[in-house]
Amino acid sequence: MLFLVVLLSLACTSHSLIEVAKNTELDSIDVTEAEADVTESEDDVTLSQEDNFVIFTVASEDNDPFQRYVRSLRVFDMEKYLQVLGMNSKWLGGNMEKVGGGYKVNLLREAMEPYKDEKNTITMFTDSYDVIFLADKAEILEKFKKTGARFLISAEPYLWPDMSLESQYPEIKGTKYLCSGLMIGYTDTFWNVLNYKKIANTDDDQLFYTNAYLDAKFREANKIQLDGTSTIFHNLHGAVREIDFGFGAHRITNWEQATMPQVLHGNGPSKITLNMFGNYYPRGFDPTEGDYGKCLACDEQEGRVNVNDTDSLPVVLTTLFINERTPFLDYFINKTFSQDYPPEKWHVRIYNRVWEHADHIQELINYHVVNNPDNKLASVKIFQPKDTAKRKLMEIYEEAMYTCAEVDCGWYFAMDSVITLTDNNVLKDLIYWNKSVITTQLTQPGQYWSNFWGDVTNDGFYKRAPDYFELVKRERLGLWNVAFVNHLVAIRGDVIDSGKLSYRHKTYDDNNYDVGFSYNARKNNVFMFMVNLKKHGHLKKMNNYTTEREHNDLWQIFTNPTDWKLNYIHPSYDIFLTKQMVEFPQPCPDVFHFPLLSKRFAWHIIHELESMPGDVFAESGNNNDQRLAGGYENVPTVDVHFTQINLQQEWLKVLRDYVAPIQRRVFEGYSFNGKALLSFVVKYHENGQRKLVPHHDHSTFTTNTALNRQGIDYEDGGSYFIRQNCLVRDVDIGWTLMHPGRLTHYHEGKEISRGTRYILVSFNDP
Task: Determine phi and psi for 179, rounding to 5 degrees.
Answer: -130, 125
Could you tell me the residue ranges of all domains in the chain?
1-40, 41-280, 310-539, 552-764
pLDDT band at 249 (very low <50, low <70, confident <90, very high): confident
Give the tens place of pLDDT for each residue, 705-751: 999 999 999 999 999 999 999 999 999 999 999 999 988 999 999 99
Beta carbons of 760 and 650 less than 8 angstroms apart: no
| pLDDT at residue 627, rounded to an integer | 76
| pLDDT at residue 307, rounded to an integer | 98
Phi/psi class of residue 238: alpha, beta or left (left: φ > 0; alpha: ψ in -120 to 50)?
left
Q: What percent of the chain has pLDDT over 90?
A: 87
* pLDDT at residue 16 tops 60: no
Mean pLDDT of 687-707: 95
| Coil, helix or strand at residue 98 | coil
* Cα distances (Å, whole numbers) of residue 516 to 229, 399, 509: 38, 15, 9
Mean pLDDT of 32-51: 36
Instruction: Report the mean per-residue pLDDT for the chain.
Output: 92
How many Å apart are CA 444 and CA 540, to the nearest integer?
6
Closest by CA to 429, choosing from 346, 340, 350, is 340
Phi/psi class of residue 324: alpha, beta or left (left: φ > 0; alpha: ψ in -120 to 50)?
beta
Closest by CA to 1, choosing from 9, 664, 501, 243, is 9
Q: What percent of the chain has pLDDT over 70?
A: 92
Domain 552-764 class in CATH = mainly beta
pLDDT band at 621 (very low <50, low <70, confident <90, very high): low
Strands 53-58, 122-126: pairing kind = parallel
Give the helix ranges, DSSP H, for 172-235.
Answer: 187-194, 205-214, 216-221
pLDDT band at 187 (very low <50, low <70, confident <90, very high): very high
Q: Please indicate whether residue 296 or residue 23 has the higher confidence score (pLDDT).
A: 296
| pLDDT at residue 464, rounded to an integer | 97
Through-space distance between the first and last CA atoms of the chain, rounded to whole angstroms: 93
Task: Indicate the range of 17-26, 95-104, 270-279, 501-510 predicted with least confidence.
Answer: 17-26
Mean pLDDT of 577-594: 96
Q: Indicate if 310-539 has the same CATH topology as 41-280.
A: yes
Angle CA 239–240–244, to nearest 5:
115
Mean pLDDT of 165-169: 98
| pLDDT at residue 119, rounded to an integer | 87
Q: How would DSSP label each residue in 229-282? A: T-SSEEE-TTTGGGEE---TTS-SEETTTTB--SEEE--GGGHHHHHHHHHHTT
* pLDDT at residue 664 tops 60: yes
pLDDT band at 622 (very low <50, low <70, confident <90, very high): confident
Task: Indicate the range of 12-26, 262-276, 416-430 predicted with least confidence.
Answer: 12-26
pLDDT band at 17 (very low <50, low <70, confident <90, very high): very low
Beta-carbon contacts of 198 under 8 Å, excluding residues fewer than 6 positions away, are none
| pLDDT at residue 632, rounded to an integer | 62
* pLDDT at residue 50 tops 80: no
Q: From 1.20.140.10, 3.90.550.10, 3.30.420.40, 3.40.1190.20, which CATH number describes the 41-280 domain? A: 3.90.550.10
Closest by CA to 341, choosing from 383, 313, 361, 380, is 313
Query: Per-residue b/e over 259-294, b at no fewer than 16 CB within 10 Å?
Result: bbbbbbbbbbebbbbbbbbbbbbbbbbbbeeeeebb
Mean pLDDT of 153-158: 98
Residue positions annotated with a catalytic role: 757
| pLDDT at residue 631, rounded to an integer | 72
Closest by CA to 70, choosing from 132, 123, 125, is 132
pTM, to two decimals: 0.90
Sign, Cα dihedral of 72, 74, 78, 81: positive
Task: Indicate the range of 37-51, 250-264, 452-466, 472-486 predicted with least confidence.
Answer: 37-51
DSSP class of 321: E
| pLDDT at residue 613, rounded to an integer | 87
User: Which CATH architecture describes the domain 310-539?
Assistant: Alpha-Beta Complex (3.90)
* pLDDT at residue 47 tops 50: no
* Cα distances (Å, whole numbers) of residue 223 to 143, 153, 183, 188, 614: 16, 11, 13, 12, 95
Q: How many helices (H) and strands (E) does the chain have?
A: 22, 38
Give the tens place of pLDDT for each residue, 340-397: 999 999 999 999 999 999 999 999 999 999 999 999 999 999 999 999 999 999 999 9
